[in-house]
Homo-oligomer: A and B are copies of this chain.
Amino acid sequence: MHAKTVTVKLDKHCYDIIIGPDLITQAASQIKHSLHQKDFHQMRVALITDANIASLHLDTLEAELTKNKIHTVPIVVEAGEQSKSFSTLQTVIDKILATRLERGDCVIAFGGGVIGDLGGFAASIIRRGMNFIQMPTTLLAQIDSSVGGKTGINSQYGKNLIGTFYQPRCVISDTCLLDTLPLREFRAGYAEMVKYGLINQPDFFEWLEKNGQKVFSNGSIRTEAIIRSCQFKADIVARDEHETGERALLNLGHTFGHMLETATIYDSNRLIHGEAVAIGMILAHQLSAQLNLINSTLTHRIETHFKAVGLPTQLKDIPGTLPDAETLMTLIAQDKKVSQNNLTFILTRGLGQSFIAKNISSNTILTFLEQKLAEIR
């Protein structure tokens, strides 16, 4: 099967997302093409990756680049959300500056969402912006975090509170890398795929209901699902690069999701991002039902599909105890989707009919959370 290309069309520049099998073993020519480099003489790239990906795939990628005379500087960070920190950012930046990489050299983020966010942020602020390429290795990163140019790290006050908008020169998504992805991680990425259906593509949700199990196998259905997802996200980003409008729809399930991730202190044993978003989307639908926007049968339908693929759907699926409703509210209020104390949520009026709901009162949310917590106690 040949690689397919989805183009992200932005005001100032376009870039390609290349999707297909075995791209890692052909990466050099793609990098050359994207950076408009005539030859690789003296070209240097920093390969930012995590310990898991390094043990599985770094040798292969380094061999491909070295064979093609690209000098590589591997920078391996600890796997997991805790690497989206100020201290890891500083370490990565210091290593890149120590090797004297220049603006025209390149930073490659070779990993999942954490590596893409961290590597992209570093690339965006070193020398006020170096060349940057995404090579996402997880389903979540391939369909979501590598597309659209959001970069960042976490703060003690919340997730992704420090970062930039910074677009890569290209995204190289080797679907074969997904074969080594743990099932739980694959499921978490799948939740974001379902999100695209729930936002405004009811057909895609129905297609996933039919084909969901096949997306979990390494065939053409998986690749098709990735291409459709990238195309959807690329279109939204093209229309609203800096999230002044409809891009906020991508936050469906994310305000509740971030709240849950913070409440579980980013402990991946308890919850990973896509799982938090799955539960968050169910909560957003339940809230929509409570506000009489939808019938609760829609929520049940989505729950059924999530359960069929093994995703969590409710607060009681999270191991350990959660803080009380007022503490959860504090976490929401610090989230970046807050504007002048009127809460903004992505709610829905039906399957694939999500919308940006402003001026949701804190009391509405507090009461809703109290009720949800009461159900599990």
Give the Cβ gap from A251 to chain B, nearest Cβ, in Å.
Answer: 13
Bound-state Cα–Cα, A131 to B126, Å: 22
**Chain B CB within 8 A of A164 CB:** yes
Contact B338 A126 (CB under 8 A): no
Contact A164 B97 (CB under 8 A): no
Give the number of times this chain occurs in the complex, counting copies. 2
Give the Cβ gap from A200 to chain B, nearest Cβ, in Å.
Answer: 24
Number of chain A residues whose Cβ lies closer than 8 Å to a Cβ of chain B: 37
| B interface footprint on A159-175 (CB within 8 Å = 1, 0 otherwise) | 00111110000000000
A100-B334 CB under 8 A given contacts A94-B156, A340-B42? yes
Q: Which residue of B lies closest to A89 (CB)?
A: B86
Bound-state Cα–Cα, A370 to B125, Å: 34
**Chain B CB within 8 A of A155 CB:** yes
The residues of B that contact A128 with a CB separation of less than 8 Å are: 150, 152, 163-165, 242
Q: Which among B156, B163, B341 is the interface contact of A125 at CB below 8 angstroms?
A: B163
A98-B157 CB under 8 A given contacts A125-B125, A126-B162, A128-B164? yes
Q: Which residue of B lies closest to A151 (CB)?
A: B128
| B interface footprint on A95-123 (CB within 8 Å = 1, 0 otherwise) | 00110101110000000000000000100
Bound-state Cα–Cα, A341 to B242, Å: 36
Listed in ascending order, the chain A residues whose CB lies under 8 Å from chain B are 42, 86, 90, 93-94, 97-98, 100, 102-104, 121, 124-129, 150, 152, 155-158, 161-165, 242, 333-334, 336, 338-341
Can you sample 18 A-B contacts with CB below 8 Å?
A: A97-B156, A97-B157, A97-B158, A98-B157, A102-B336, A102-B338, A102-B339, A103-B339, A125-B164, A126-B161, A126-B162, A128-B150, A128-B152, A128-B163, A128-B165, A129-B164, A129-B165, A164-B164
